[in-house]
């Protein structure tokens, strides 16, 4: 009994520390842990393991590099709400180098990066945002006097894990579109080895947070597909979970932007939506914590396939997608079937047929009554005579 009380008290103390450190209530903290566990596809009850890892694990050092990109991935991360960035990222992880969020600049910033790499050698997490130009010996992107190629190789050498965040870092993204004058390449291509990729333009910040928390909880990165994407976020086609899927199955499509079908929320397949060939959890994870429909297709714009190499920034927006797992039937009924009209002659003919049918029914009733009066079997009159 005393051991149970001791364990409960220890748990209370741990929660009190978390509440003070993250400036959030216990309820909010457990909601966050449950959301992360659900995002990773963990079974019920796993939020306890996630909470314990965040409470007790030493904050991993994170070095975040920027190359050819728009900083949209970092901007997306800034809008995380469960809890907010300053309460989570700066407490759950130790963000030791990030050019956008850094107060330091110039030599001080570079000194902080090198100091973090030395102090946490073999233990820090390297996050790369942006494609890496490789043409002309990488001269198209330099930071602190070093090319992006040299910098990413230097930082990756002693990293415990490498995460490529955003489509640019994951497979080249927009900078790699033809003719690709700078030779923009992915992190994996430059390092010559697989890395965890979290594509999207931008990706949901919770896909990144869930990946980091998985590393904290289990001491390893989550299971990934053949492209290095975490399966908990990229194992299902967008088409599978799209709120417009029922319209696709029923053959209801928007044909033009602003037409009746578009305004009524019909499927955007014929407008070039790439959801049927794009793997991501956008329909379920959404963006910006602003409520239902807060993702491109929910807002009325076709998916551009930004998480897929060879689709996003490669196929024209209006080009229809390759259907991966569902082929619609060859024909659909029209949404509003035309109603046939009736000519005067046809109406007259129908009236004559109806009149003839009514006359025939009257004669039949008359004959039946006559048979009853004659006392033929099977009629009420016959039964009376039998009595």
CATH number at residue 93: 3.40.50.700
pLDDT, mean over the chain: 81
**Number of domains within the chain:** 2
User: How many CB atoms lie under 10 A from the CB of residue 319?
Assistant: 13
228 and 244 in a single domain? The answer is: no
The residue with greater pLDDT, 77 or 345, is 77
Q: Is residue 292 part of a domain?
A: yes
192 and 324 in a single domain? The answer is: no
The residue from 210, 232, 254 where one domain ends is 232
Collect all residues with Cβ–Cβ distance below 8 Å to 58 and sequence separation of at least 6: none
Residue 137 pLDDT exceeds 60: yes
Confidence category of residue 292, pLDDT binned at 50, 70, 90? confident
Q: Is residue 348 part of a domain?
A: no
Residue 365 pLDDT exceeds 70: no
329 and 213 in a single domain? The answer is: no
255 and 224 in a single domain? The answer is: no
The pLDDT of residue 29? 72
The pLDDT of residue 64? 95
73 and 87 in a single domain? The answer is: yes
> In this structure, what is the dihedral angle of CA atoms 318, 311, 186, 200, given to the nearest 10 degrees?
70
278 and 322 in a single domain? The answer is: yes
Answer for the pair 100, 158: CB distance below 8 angstroms, yes or no.
Answer: no
Residue percentage of the chain with pLDDT more than 90: 49
Confidence category of residue 382, pLDDT binned at 50, 70, 90? very low
The residue with greater pLDDT, 108 or 17, is 108
227 and 328 in a single domain? The answer is: no
The residue with greater pLDDT, 14 or 380, is 14
Residue 324 pLDDT exceeds 70: yes
Question: The pTM is what?
Answer: 0.73
179 and 257 in a single domain? The answer is: no
User: How many CB atoms lie under 10 A from the CB of residue 31?
Assistant: 15
Confidence category of residue 57, pLDDT binned at 50, 70, 90? low
User: How many CB atoms lie under 10 A from the CB of residue 265?
Assistant: 17
Residue 6: which domain range? 2-49+56-232
Confidence category of residue 384, pLDDT binned at 50, 70, 90? very low
Answer for the pair 267, 247: CB distance below 8 angstroms, yes or no.
Answer: yes
CA geometry: angle at 62 spanning 61 and 63, to 5°?
Answer: 125
Q: Say if residue 52 is exposed, middle or buried (CB neighbours under 10 Å; 0-12, 13-18, 19+).
A: middle
**pLDDT, tens digit (0-9, with 9 covering 90-100), for 234-246:** 999 999 999 999 9
Answer for the pair 317, 302: CB distance below 8 angstroms, yes or no.
Answer: yes
Q: Is residue 201 part of a domain?
A: yes
15 and 127 in a single domain? The answer is: yes
CA dist., res. 95 & res. 102, Å (int): 9
Residue 102 pLDDT exceeds 70: yes
The residue with greater pLDDT, 221 or 362, is 221
Q: Is residue 367 part of a domain?
A: no
CA dist., res. 227 & res. 191, Å (int): 15
């Amino acid at each position: 009994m005393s051991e149970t009380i001791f364990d409960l008290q220890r748990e209370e103390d741990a929660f009190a520390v978390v509440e003070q450190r993250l400036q959030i209530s216990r309820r909010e903290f457990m909601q966050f842990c449950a959301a992360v566990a659900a995002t990773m596809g963990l079974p019920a009850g796993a939020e306890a393991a996630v909470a314990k890892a965040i409470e007790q694990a030493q904050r991993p050092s994170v070095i975040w590099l920027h190359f050819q990109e728009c900083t949209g991935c970092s901007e997306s991360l800034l809008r995380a709400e469960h809890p907010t960035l300053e309460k989570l990222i700066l407490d759950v992880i130790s963000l030791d180098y990030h050019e956008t969020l850094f107060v330091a600049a110039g030599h001080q910033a570079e000194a902080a990066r090198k100091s973090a790499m030395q102090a946490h050698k073999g233990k820090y997490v390297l996050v790369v945002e942006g494609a890496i130009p490789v043409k002309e010996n990488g001269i198209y992107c330099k930071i602190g006097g070093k090319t992006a190629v040299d910098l990413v190789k230097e930082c990756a050498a002693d990293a415990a894990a490498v995460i490529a965040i955003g489509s640019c870092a994951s497979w080249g993204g927009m900078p790699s579109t033809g003719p690709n004058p700078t030779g923009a390449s992915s992190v994996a291509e430059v390092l010559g080895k697989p890395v965890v990729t979290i594509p999207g333009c931008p990706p949901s910040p919770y896909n990144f947070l869930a990946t980091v928390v998985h590393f904290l909880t289990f001491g390893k990165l989550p299971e990934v597909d053949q492209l290095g994407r975490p399966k908990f976020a990229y194992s299902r086609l967008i088409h599978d979970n799209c709120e417009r899927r029922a319209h696709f199955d029923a053959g209801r499509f928007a044909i033009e932007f602003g037409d009746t079908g578009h305004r009524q929320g019909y499927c955007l397949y014929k407008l070039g939506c790439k959801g049927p060939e794009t793997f991501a959890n956008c329909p379920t994870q959404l963006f910006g914590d602003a409520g239902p429909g807060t993702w491109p297709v929910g807002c009325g714009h076709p998916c551009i396939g930004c998480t897929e190499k060879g689709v996003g920034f490669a196929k024209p927006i209006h080009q229809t997608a390759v259907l991966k797992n569902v082929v619609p039937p060859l024909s659909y009924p029209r949404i509003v079937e035309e109603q046939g009209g009736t000519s005067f002659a046809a109406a007259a003919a129908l009236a004559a047929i109806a009149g003839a049918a009514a006359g025939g029914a009257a004669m039949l009733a008359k004959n039946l009554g006559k048979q009853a009066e004659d006392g033929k079997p099977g009629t009420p009159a016959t039964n009376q005579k039998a009595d």
